[in-house]
Chain A
């Protein structure tokens, strides 16, 4: 095994990790605040990808087509999140977790078919935006610029999210809602608005990550149920509701998968699920989370 091979596995793992972080951070936020596991998060991600493709078709002539499409997709998915939260989710907060899980699964079914209806079952792809189309050589390996961009975006969002959560008034409200929803309401804060805001932000992140993944992955039906399981693993490893936990959880997942393929090709899939099970058994609240 040469050093450059190891390095390219490392970078590949990091790219996967940062994508997963973008997706899983929204899932983790919603879990942390609302104590709801949102299966539909993967569907939001898929819709983000399809909407980005659609946006690229519409805005193509201009040079900023891809970026406009990504913002459009993320905002549209965020809007959908607002509708879902206000219309349905709201009435499920007091109910048992079974109903919440199955509600989000109903969304998976409906949105999955809606995407098939609107965009068909074929593969769609989006070309890399021209600014980031090239690649640079590092340690004798060619690293696509786009992957490097994602690797920079992940930590940027992590730091930004951490700053907002820990150093701003909104973040204080969100953390208070995580700890004691009723007390926050009793103190006069509008908990309902905080919940809607969190859900919209989480959907926005899912839509954004779906849009950003399009240049390196083709858009296919079924990408929703595949990604959601991976996002679950990341969130479980890091700790549900913990922002940095999700970050490190994605790094661990990405690298275990990447090096697992190198060392035991047929066990890498098994190893990530086994890792999830072991973490749940030993520390159900994850490496960086707090017990409920």
Chain B
């Protein structure tokens, strides 16, 4: 967090930032188009991987609003993912609520839970904050694991239905896709919108205040910023988007299980964020891509994936604290300096 600033290098005021052809390509649009074409270009397994990556990308980006932008080390972010997944899953399976209602409801439910738990969490500093977020996530886990009537307990909630996507079939070109592929397109669309909103939030004056709080909470308070209120707002926003990611994940994996909410999942999404680079908005999505892809490559050879993950984490912590995007950024700058550009 201290090595580089969150935003792109700021040009001196009054001097237009140097443009180059790499920057001129609308990368986010290119990635979106590629993601949308997976059902036509790739196999069923590719769609599965792409959907996993997209959902994890949103989940990790939402965590990074706390971790990288606001400097809050949440060790229980999976709680909000889980609440979103359970709210959406229970509404759709038990009460047959349509997706277009259940999905916003999942976000709303998660936001409320984040508001209540965050209210207490932001009062604590540093390690105590991390411990309390961990405690809340374990409370969610305990409820999910034991409340058989509602959450299905240790059996979970299997067979969550796909949303009714008949309207999609009437769109030319999408009619002959499988339902799972149609849901994939819907998920990619919703995730793209969510990421765009998150991006706006990080770059807005509100986001700048969060970064100020990260860099120096005392000074932020001194210039009249209500630090706790801003931290709580960031907590609620991050929780809500994690809830959206969870809601999509429940439908994608055709079920919600208590395992999703166990504390070690929070560590996994932290690793994604760190692997991509938490000083950059697009770091965590890149981390999600890298981790899901690596997982798929490595589990072909060995069952010891956690060992590899731990080794990656060690390398990151001791060698590349800036993550993948941080490494690319540093390399890019060095190259440009080398060419005298």
Contacts and interface: CB of A to CB of B under 8 A. Distances in A.
A106 B317 contact: yes
Interface centre among A98, A233, A269, A273 (most CB of B within 10 A): A98
Interface string B271-294: 100100000000000000000000
B270 interface: yes
Interface centre among B262, B270, B313 (most CB of A within 10 A): B313
Contacts of A109: 306-307, 309-310, 313
B126 interface: yes
Contacts, number: 113
B135 A276 contact: yes
Interface string B130-145: 1110111011011101
B115 to A, nearest CB: 15
Interface residues of A, number: 40
- The prevalent SS among residues of B at the interface is helix
Interface residues of B, number: 45
Interface string B259-270: 000111001001
B130 A97 contact: yes
A102 B271 contact: yes
A114 B132 contact: no
Nearest to B270: A102
- The prevalent SS among residues of A at the interface is helix
Given A102-B271, A106-B310, A280-B132, A270 B142 contact: yes
B318 interface: yes
A99 B263 contact: no
Nearest to A269: B142
Contacts of B124: 280, 284
A116 B139 contact: no
B73 A101 contact: yes
Contacts of A292: 125
B143 A99 contact: no
Interface in B291-316: 304, 306-307, 309-311, 313-314
Contacts of B132: 277, 280-281, 284
Nearest to A277: B135
B59 interface: no
A264 to B, nearest CB: 10
Interface of A: 35, 37, 88, 91-92, 96-99, 101-103, 105-110, 112-114, 116-117, 225, 229, 232-233, 236, 266-267, 269-270, 273-274, 276-277, 280-281, 284, 292
The 8 closest A-B pairs by CB, nearest first: A109-B310, A113-B307, A110-B310, A106-B313, A277-B135, A109-B306, A269-B142, A270-B142
